[in-house]
Structure 1
Amino acid sequence: ELVTAGVDLFRLNFSHADTTTLCEWAGRIRRVASQHQTEVGILADLAGPKIRIGRFRDGPVELHNGDPFTIDPSCPETDGTAECVGVSYVNLPGDVSAGDRLLLADGQIAFRVESVSGTAIHCRVETGGVLSDLKGINRAGGGLSAEALTEKDRRDIAVAARLEVDYLAVSFPRDADDIQRARALLEQAGGRAGVIAKIERSEAVQNIDSILKVADAIMVARGDLAIEIGDWELAGVQKRLTRLAHEARSVVITATQMMESMVLNPVPTRAEVLDVANAVMDGTDAVMLSAESAVGHYPVRAVE
């Protein structure tokens, strides 16, 4: 149904599936496309260095404004409490300092760093809420030192080459070197896919001219990008990235929350309709659905 509804490209999220599952999905996509005598592309989306907190011992915790909270990579991965939790990136304490703002769960929860002692990042809750296992964490303004290509990404690039995907999306690149490294690994593995730079770090926005010279396409990945640069900056940056991509004769994809309400509702909001229309009028070459088609109740309607 998704193919007949008009999907041009299916994204395989390497963050959430094992190799066996990914191979099954790729095979199924190709079989269905062949049955309908059409061509549908496959995009391998690398997980990248997404930094996540650990798990909570007794389930989700409720945090209130003003509460003290500590993030510490030395905390056992499954032993988080309402006062402290572990984190996947051991170098995070060296990347932050007093006064920094840390955003968790796609910006729904915010901490202000008060001090760093050894491996412990001592914070104060600025925006509270319910915090659950493995939520992502970003530093407002960017600047985290995590490499764009993790060991998992390197293994997944080889898998993507074996699957003969059409595109490889590099998550959280900082600069052109990150894209060139991914392309070199892909070619070493025998892959010939186009390479997409997902623009979701503030450093990538600053280095967009050099990235456009080496990437086959860019993706305006509005979720993590908005967390780093702020929602108030996103509209202007999206328009600028789209314009620069066209000037460089590069493909540009606009992604994240295009029709988010359709996860639960059969029709989009007018604001979402205008958002998609504005992206198209600005010159985006494609829009990408995520939760709407991956876990939503109305995936076919969202595509239509």
Structure 2
Amino acid sequence: MVQRRAKIVATIGPASASEKTLARLIRAGVNVVRLNQSHGTREEHRRLIRLVREVAEEAGRSVGVMVDLMGPRHRLDHFEGARVLREGDVVGLGASAEADLPLDRDMVRHVEPGEQILIDDGRVQLEVRSKDEERIEAEVIIGGAVSSRKGVNLPDSRLPFRISEKDLSDIRMAVEEDADFLAASYVGTPADVVHVREASREAGRPLQIIAKLERRRALDHLDEIVLESDGVMVARGDLGVEIPLHQVPVVQKRIIESGWRHARPVIVATQMLESMIEHPRPTRAESSDVANAVFDGADAMMLSGESAAGRYPLEAVQTMHRIITESERYNLSKHTSQPVGFHTMEVGPYDIEPPHRPGTLEIPETVSAAAILSARHLTAQGIVVLSQGGFTARQVACRRPSTPVFAFTRESRSMRELQLVWGVHSVKMDQEVYHHDEVVAMVDRQLLAGSLALPGDTIVLLMGDPIQDRPPTNLMRIHRVRA
């Protein structure tokens, strides 16, 4: 039976780009590979996508591919040498030759007095005192050495979201190579997500959009961004620069709850097992960080430099798998039911109703909730969802069923997209089905062939009726597997 519920996203880079290493990572449990467009060439990424497809097929696995766009990343312009800024100094920033630090004119236009300028991941902090069309005067609050092309964060400013020519080219490449997800960097409003989706549609196909939440402004529009996206990422690197670090753990929980409430998968990312870039074992704090993401209810955890450039990419995946599995085992041990009349009240992290959201439940959501309750009462061995695009599977998963979930679909793309969704094991249907009896016979045969069930096991089936019309899910059937 399926063991791990939370999924693993691994960034592919120089340390993991060989066919041999990729195969080992996939066998170790990687569900989605991430290609960071800030590094490497477009042709290298094309080659990697094709290689992932080949290796996954040979391993008999469904593996998603996420193309992570560079986005509107802001940096100081080029200058020679390094400049040391001391607390209390007043420095000029702008596009003119007289500026102490060269900065793009567009950034100058959108910064206002009183706002912060953070340089080099927040190591240097400035506060704007005055500005004109060409130049900013800012006081150094926290000093340090600054060199050319260092990153700049403007947490208080309302910078416009623009899709660069590089991002447009990367989107076209992702569509041409049939990638599954686009990770949109530095989104601040739901409109930013719409712009990326439209760019993907214009390139040939709207890929699933994962909104990276790394700007303070995005937190003001959290629910709207989650609803507009197909999933979100807690991108704790830049987020930890834009907001105080002590707020990051609480914000992580807020984001996960929003994803849970709206049935959107949430990825927790950045420095999860950072020390494994150089060492074969993580720190105790890193192990606890992964476990706490499991306890928070995240759908997936992401490895960045650990798998892309580290010395121990395979060990990092294996370690993350073990931590997640052990944490989920503990979660399950804490789960109990208390009788309340005919029904039971669930106490613990499984078989739960998401927090209240506006509006009434639709039929697929209601049937999904009923399936989880029925599976729990009957101690069923599986919930089987016949799925086209994965909507019902997500509705089931957001209730965190203690019963394993199997999503049967004819679409290879849907199988890959579901690799980000908590607890869902996707199964490729080996035939078209048009009647209930055909569905039951196919499900029995494939569950038994895949060692996913035993004869006599109880399963709960969800499907749309009439089947040949492919309607949304509206039917639940309880069945015992027959050999």
TM-score (norm 1): 0.90
**Cα distance in 1, alignment partners of residues 43 and 259 from structure 2:** 35
Instruction: Give CA-to-partner distance per residue, 1:8-38, whole Å, 9 cap, x none.
Output: 1111111223221211221222222233232
Residues 135 and 43 of structure 1, relative CA distance in 2, 3 Å threshold: same
**Cα distance in 2, alignment partners of residues 118 and 4 from structure 1:** 56
1:62 maps to which of 84, 91, 97: 84
Aligned positions of 1:128-139 closer than 5 A: 128-139=143-154
The aligned residue for residue 257 of structure 1 is: 271
Q: Structure 1 residues 291-300 or 239-248, which shifts more?
A: 291-300
Residues 303 and 132 of structure 1, relative CA distance in 2, 3 Å threshold: farther
**Cα distance in 1, alignment partners of residues 162 and 253 from structure 2:** 24
SS at match of 1:47: coil
Instruction: Give CA-to-partner distance per residue, 1:88-127, whole Å, 9 cap, x none.
Output: x422122223332211111122122232243222223222
Q: Structure 1 residues 220-229 or 187-196, which shifts more?
A: 187-196
> Is 1:71 matched with 2:93?
yes
Amino acid at match of 1:203: R
Matched pairs, number: 295
Aligned positions of 1:288-303 closer than 5 A: 288-303=302-317
1:274 maps to which of 261, 284, 288: 288
Gaps of 5+ in 1: 77-82
Amino acid at match of 1:151: E
Cα pair 2:109 2:133 within 8 Å, conserved: no
Cα pair 2:182 2:209 within 8 Å, conserved: yes
Aligned positions of 1:7-156 closer than 5 A: 7-58=30-81, 60-75=82-97, 84-87=100-103, 89-140=104-155, 142-156=156-170
Amino acid at match of 1:46: L
**Cα distance in 1, alignment partners of residues 273 and 97 from structure 2:** 38
Cα pair 1:75 1:85 within 8 Å, conserved: no
**Cα distance in 2, alignment partners of residues 209 and 3 from structure 1:** 33
Instruction: Give CA-to-partner distance per residue, 1:129-153, whole Å, 9 cap, x none.
Output: 332332111123x333231423332
**Cα distance in 2, alignment partners of residues 243 and 220 from structure 1:** 12
Q: Which has the larger radius of gyration?
A: 2
Amino acid at match of 1:147: F
Amino acid at match of 1:123: A
**Cα distance in 1, alignment partners of residues 311 and 84 from structure 2:** 28
Residues 128 and 299 of structure 1, relative CA distance in 2, 3 Å threshold: farther
Cα pair 1:68 1:124 within 8 Å, conserved: yes
Amino acid at match of 2:100: C
- Report the Cα offset of residue 272 of structure 1: 1.2
1:245 maps to which of 259, 265, 278: 259
- Report the Cα offset of residue 161 of structure 1: 0.6
**Cα distance in 1, alignment partners of residues 56 and 245 from structure 2:** 38
The aligned residue for residue 224 of structure 2 is: 210
The aligned residue for residue 413 of structure 2 is: none
TM-score (norm 2): 0.58
SS at match of 2:157: coil
Aligned positions of 1:174-253 closer than 5 A: 174-253=188-267
**Cα distance in 2, alignment partners of residues 126 and 230 from structure 1:** 15
Cα pair 1:261 1:269 within 8 Å, conserved: yes
- Identity within the alignment, %: 38
SS at match of 1:11: strand
**Cα distance in 2, alignment partners of residues 118 and 176 from structure 1:** 29
RMSD (CA atoms): 2.0
**Cα distance in 2, alignment partners of residues 211 and 56 from structure 1:** 37
Amino acid at match of 2:70: A
Instruction: Give CA-to-partner distance per residue, 1:70-94, whole Å, 9 cap, x none.
Output: 2213459xxxxxx72223x422122
Aligned positions of 1:160-171 closer than 5 A: 160-171=174-185
Gaps of 5+ in 2: 1-23, 319-483
Residues 75 and 254 of structure 1, relative CA distance in 2, 3 Å threshold: farther
Cα pair 1:149 1:178 within 8 Å, conserved: no
Q: Structure 1 residues 183-192 or 202-211, which shifts more?
A: 183-192
Instruction: Give CA-to-partner distance per residue, 1:214-263, whole Å, 9 cap, x none.
Output: 21101111111122222122111110110111011110001111122222
